[in-house]
């Protein structure tokens, strides 16, 4: 059931991306309502999969690589749906929906097996930390997606090419605003999420050094961006460039830590 629902969700996420890409094939507007409905259907099916996981294992899909990836994917899709439903603008689907499909596929391939779980208050603490941290990373990914689109469109505008990207990408200003909001939201979620993790580690004298190094690196990256945007007034090209560099750095660090992790399986 979980595997089937995941497969259907992947198909729906990719279908939403396909619908959003229609303007590149024919010079008409993207079917905003259809994209939103297909995306919402994908999220609904994905939530069915996660609900089934909770029913079978009696715990939220937050521990273990597969469940966590699947949870992150649905968060990316929900963030995307919220942004697009509010803005009535679906070009971000081109990047974020395939990302959600990729994460879901990765979760299915890895196996939806829960990791070691803490009980009682420790369980609530741990669950809140993981949920908020994933939310923060999902927002960071959204900011990076908007940043990529900004850089692609800026390149087209600077080089005076007036093709499909010129016609169908949202204005640079809109992408910059999405980047700004996502960075600040990501910083808030990551700050609380990692704060909870730090308190948890101190309280229960537990922790995993590599995981903490990665988490603090991600938090520092988002914090630097937030300070840059809110305090120093970074915006536009600089903000998009730095968001992508820092997000790429966080992803590379994650992959490196996965490779060198001495406690295989404990690091997400």
Partner 1 sequence: MALIVAGLSHHTAPIDVREQVAVAPHETPRVLDDLARATGAAELALLSTCNRTEVYVVEGEEPAAPPIWEHLSLRLGGTADAAAYGYVRRDREAAAHLYRVASGLDSMILGEAQIHGQVRDAWEASRSTSRAILNRLFQSSLLVASRVREETAVGRGAASVSSAAVQLSKKIFGNLSGRRAMVLGAGDMADLALECLVSEGVRTAIVANRTYERAVALAERHGGEALHYDDCWTRLADVDVLLCSTAAPHPIVERAQVEPAMRQRGDRPLCILDIALPRDVASDVGMLDNVFLYDLDDLRSVVETNLERRRQELPTAESVIADEVEQYWQWLAGLAAVPVLRTFRSQMDRVREDELARALKKLAHLAPNDRAAVDLFSRALMNKFLHEPSVRLRAASANGHGLAIVDALRYLFALESSESGTPPDDTPNAEGR
Residues that bind partner 1 (CB under 8 A): 26-28, 153, 157-158, 160, 162, 166-167, 170-174, 233-239
Task: Assign 100 to helix, strand or coil.
Answer: helix
Nearest in space to 73 (alpha carbons), one of 35, 113, 45: 45
Contact indicator for 30, 168 with CB cutoff of 8 Å: yes
Which of 111, 171 has the CB closer to partner 1?
171
Q: What is the DSSP letter of 116?
A: -
CB of 126 to partner 1, least distance (A): 40
CB of 107 to partner 1, least distance (A): 36
Which of 118, 181 has the CB closer to partner 1?
181
Which of 40, 172 has the CB closer to partner 1?
172
Contacts 24+ apart (CB under 8 A), 82-86: 83/142, 83/178, 83/182, 84/32, 84/35, 84/36, 84/39, 85/36
CB of 183 to partner 1, least distance (A): 14
CB of 241 to partner 1, least distance (A): 10
Task: Assign 253 to helix, strand or coil.
Answer: helix
CB of 84 to partner 1, least distance (A): 16
Which of 140, 169 has the CB closer to partner 1?
169
DSSP string, 140-172: HHHHHHHHHHHHHHHHHHHTT--SHHHHHSPPH
Which of 34, 174 has the CB closer to partner 1?
174
């Amino acid at each position: 059931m979980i595997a089937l629902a995941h497969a259907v969700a992947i198909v729906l996420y990719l279908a939403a991306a396909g619908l959003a890409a229609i303007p590149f094939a024919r010079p008409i507007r993207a079917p905003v309502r259809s994209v939103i409905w297909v995306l919402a259907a994908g999220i609904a099916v994905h939530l069915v999969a996660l609900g089934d996981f909770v029913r079978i294992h009696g715990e939220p899909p937050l521990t273990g690589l597969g469940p966590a990836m699947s949870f992150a994917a649905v968060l990316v899709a929900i963030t995307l749906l919220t942004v697009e439903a509010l803005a009535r603008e679906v070009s971000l689907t081109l990047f974020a929906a395939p990302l959600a499909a990729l994460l879901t596929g990765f979760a299915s391939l890895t196996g939806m097996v829960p990791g070691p779980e803490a009980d009682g208050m420790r369980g609530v603490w741990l669950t809140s930390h993981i949920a908020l941290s994933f939310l923060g990373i999902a927002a960071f990914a959204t900011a990076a997606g908007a940043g990529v689109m900004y850089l692609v469109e800026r390149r087209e505008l600077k080089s005076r090419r007036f093709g499909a990207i010129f016609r169908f990408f949202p204005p640079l200003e809109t992408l910059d605003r999405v980047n700004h909001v996502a960075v600040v939201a990501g910083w808030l979620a990551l700050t609380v999420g990692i704060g909870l993790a730090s308190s948890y580690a101190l309280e229960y004298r537990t922790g995993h050094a590599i995981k903490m190094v990665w988490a603090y690196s991600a938090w520092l990256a988002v914090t630097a961006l937030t300070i840059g945007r809110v305090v120093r007034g970074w915006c536009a090209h600089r903000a998009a460039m730095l968001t992508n560099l820092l997000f790429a750095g966080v992803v590379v660090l994650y992959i490196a830590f996965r490779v060198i992790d001495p406690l295989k399986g404990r690091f997400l």
